[in-house]
């Protein structure tokens, strides 16, 4: 009896894990809200980095074609996670991997992608 209950619980957990994947969760993330909450203070609403703090820290201009052409999505993810010493905060402990991944299209959108 106990064995069959455990088996049922395992089957339910596996089924839930299959249907509720990180992609499903990522689709529900409001990346624009994340950008406003964590990135606007330095990069600005327009992504140009022309805020007081952004200029002081030399924040990237996301609208710059040279920047957009020279960086990969993987490098953007790495930058969000690890930051840059004395320039950009690390977000590894502040954002989930799915949230960090959701920000990449926001950064790309400033470059018209």
- Tens-place pLDDT, residues 37-90: 999 999 999 999 999 999 999 999 999 999 999 999 999 999 999 999 989 989
**What are the backbone angles phi and psi of residue 88, rounded to the nearest 5°?**
-135, 135
DSSP secondary structure string for all residues of 29-80: --HHHHHHHHTHHHH-TTSS--SHHHHHHT---TT-HHHHHH--HHHHHHHH
Please tell us whether the domain made up of 22-109 is placed in CATH 1.10.760.10: yes
Residue 23 has pLDDT above 50, yes or no: no
* Residue with token string 């089924």: 15
Give me the half-sphere count of Cα atoms (radius 13 Å) on the Cβ side of residue 108: 14
Position 27 confidence tier, pLDDT thresholds 50, 70, 90: low
| pTM for this predicted structure | 0.74
Residue-range domain boundaries for the chain: 22-109
């Amino acid at each position: 009896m106990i064995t069959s209950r455990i088996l049922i619980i395992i089957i339910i957990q596996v089924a839930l894990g299959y249907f509720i994947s990180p992609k499903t969760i990522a689709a529900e993330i409001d990346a624009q809200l994340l950008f406003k909450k964590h990135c606007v203070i330095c990069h600005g609403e327009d992504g140009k980095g022309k805020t007081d703090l952004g200029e002081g820290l030399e924040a990237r201009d996301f609208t710059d074609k040279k920047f957009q052409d020279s960086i990969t999505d993987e490098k953007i993810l790495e930058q969000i996670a690890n930051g840059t010493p004395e320039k950009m905060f690390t977000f590894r402990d502040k954002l989930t991997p799915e949230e960090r991944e959701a920000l990449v299209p926001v950064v790309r959108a400033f470059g018209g992608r």
